Amino acid sequence: MLLLIDIGNTSTTIGFCDNSSIKTILKLKTIKDRGTEECSYVLDGFILRHKIKKPEGAIICSVVPQATTAFKNAVKRNFGVEPVMVSSEIKTGLKFMIRNMEGLGADRIADAVAALRLYKGPLLVIDFGTATTFSYISSKGQFRGGAIMPGIRLSADTLADRTAKLPRVDLKKPVRALGKDTAANILSGIIFGHAGAVEKIISEIKRETSVDLKVIVTGGYADLIAPHIKMDYMNPFLTLEGLRFIYELNA
């Protein structure tokens, strides 16, 4: 049994893998000051509730340094294993053709590893999370760069926070582009506007690379944008799949 932990800016996803199959998944809000004791309680409760065997290994990818230590310590305390920590410095099967590799998010590394293994390159991985990230991986496994833009939840929250009368809206699929009230107007602008920006970035990357890229979509908000863009595959568990593959390379 393998424990997979993906700590994102908004949510933390915990999965368990048995016989190369990710079966049980828990999502919880990322809390930066969550302590080791609370993380231990979360992991123990999840295992007991689902009657999961004690994991023999663990791997963590995190873009929230403040939350990383608590989960790392909880894994060691609960299961007596040292988790593999994802970074560009461990074995990934990728060749990083970028500057400032230490600034590359561990989640983007995991996404790239899984996409390359499952779908082959060249490809463009789009992860719709707190930020929407684009990662280009060549057919030779070269991570050659990408783009980052504010995610749809961040955009919607900023609109509400920085204006006097615009409300905070629940993100859902817009009924139509022409909204009939303020909330519908915001939904239309956020969802269709984001999709249009994504399509533009895809077309520019394809123009610059001069290759026919496979577009792979993942992330917590992918289901809201995917119907409005051209893509090849959507895999909601891409990051966890990448963690599984990276663990196999480093265990």
pLDDT category at 23 given cuts 50, 70, 90 is confident
What would the two tokens of residue 144 be?
Answer: 């050659």
**What average pLDDT does this structure show over 34-39?**
94
Write down the pLDDT at residue 76. Answer: 96
pLDDT category at 50 given cuts 50, 70, 90 is confident
Of 98-107, 131-140, 212-221, the poorest mean pLDDT is in 98-107
What would the two tokens of residue 69 be?
Answer: 């230590």
**Whole-angstrom Cα distance, residue 126 to residue 34?**
29
Of 26-30, 195-199, 201-205, the poorest mean pLDDT is in 26-30
Sign of CA dihedral 238, 77, 91, 99: positive
Query: Is the pLDDT reported for residue 59 higher than 90?
Result: yes
Superfamily of domain 2-85: ATPase, nucleotide binding domain (3.30.420.40)
- Tell whether pTM > 0.85: yes
The residue type at 63: V
**Whole-angstrom Cα distance, residue 39 to residue 56?**
18
Residue ranges of domains in the chain: 2-85, 95-239
Given 33, 44, 107, 157, the catalytic residue: 107
Write down the pLDDT at residue 22. Answer: 87
DSSP string, 183-248: HHHHHHHHHHHHHHHHHHHHHHHHHHHTS-PEEEEESTTHHHHGGGS--SEE-TTHHHHHHHHHHH
User: In the annotation, is 6 catalytic?
Assistant: no
What would the two tokens of residue 189 be?
Answer: 């602008």
Of 15-19, 118-122, 186-190, 214-218, the poorest mean pLDDT is in 15-19
pLDDT digits (tens, 9 = 90+) for 161-186: 999 999 999 999 999 999 999 999 99
* CATH architecture label of 95-239: 2-Layer Sandwich (3.30)
The residue count for the chain: 251
Would you say the CATH fold of 95-239 matches that of 2-85?
yes
Query: Is the pLDDT reported for residue 101 higher than 90?
Result: no
